[in-house]
Amino acid sequence: MYYVYILQSEKDKSCYAGVTADLKRRIAEHNNGGSKYTNSKRPYRLIWYGAFYDKQRAYEFEIYLKSSSGHAFAKKHFLT
């Protein structure tokens, strides 16, 4: 399984979308400073995740979430 996820910074409420095959490990990496992009905005909380059987579809959905229309979709459906 591949997981597309959205994290929200507890520091400034910004969001980050990513994809991984090991969701627990990846969230821990973000919160322990193991990701260069998200290091300065720790800690993070998991807002949403979706599971995909197909790796390509997971990456395509991650790319969509990072687009302007994907940001609007996520804000409307997943973020509070």
Q: What is the pLDDT of residues 15-67, one digit of tens each?
A: 999 999 999 999 999 999 988 888 999 999 999 999 999 999 999 999 999 99
Instruction: Tell me what the mean pLDDT of segment 6-12 comes to.
Output: 95
Check residue 80 and give its pLDDT.
63
This prediction's pTM:
0.93
pLDDT at 4 over 70: yes
HEC per residue, the chain: CEEEEEEEECCCCCEEEEEECCHHHHHHHHHCCCCCCCHHHCCEEEEEEEEECCHHHHHHHHHHHCCHHHHHHHHHHCCC
**In this structure, what are the phi and psi dihedrals at residue 29, rounded to the nearest 5 degrees?**
-60, -45
Of the candidate CATH numbers 3.40.50.300, 3.40.50.2300, 3.40.1440.10, 3.40.30.10, the domain formed by 2-71 belongs to 3.40.1440.10
Q: Structural domain boundaries of the chain? A: 2-71
